[in-house]
Amino acid sequence: MFDQCPHNSQKWLWLWAEALRKQEPSTAEAQLAVVKKTCRILADISCKGYEMAVIHGNSLQVGNITLSQETAEKINPKLRQCSFDVCDAMSQGYIGYQIQQCLRDALRNRNHNLQ
């Protein structure tokens, strides 16, 4: 699910887009379940004193947004499809939001001092 590069107390964690979409159906709710599970693991690592940078991919999510917009535009031409870069930003935003919220909750559940 993630790669680690050893470097003292620092860890670089890369969340693969495919790992965030292991669940079927490919929905935001299914992805959220995977993110919650992943963030519990990240909270464990953080509570051991490691500094982390969490980086995530989004290729599958961007594809889903693009397909959804193409379908919507076919049904109602007034609903114009966004450009690919905007779809990319949409997916980065919602994945980052899910990670931020779930990691915060996982750390709070461990009574970790959050600031």
Tell me which of 52 and 113 has the higher pLDDT: 52
Q: What is the pLDDT of residue 2?
A: 44
pLDDT exceeds cutoff 60 at 1: no
CA angle 81, 32, 105 (to 5 degrees): 130
pLDDT over 90, % of the chain: 39
Q: What is the mean pLDDT of residues 49-65?
A: 84
Q: What is the DSSP letter of 83?
A: P
8 Å CB contact between 35 and 45:
no
pLDDT, averaged across the chain:
81
* Contact in structure between 40 and 33 (CB atoms under 8 Å): no
pLDDT at 59: 80
pTM to 2 decimals? 0.76
Angle formed by the axes of helices 59-75 and 84-109, nearest 10°: 130
Query: Rounded to 5 degrees, what are φ and ψ at 100?
Result: -60, -50
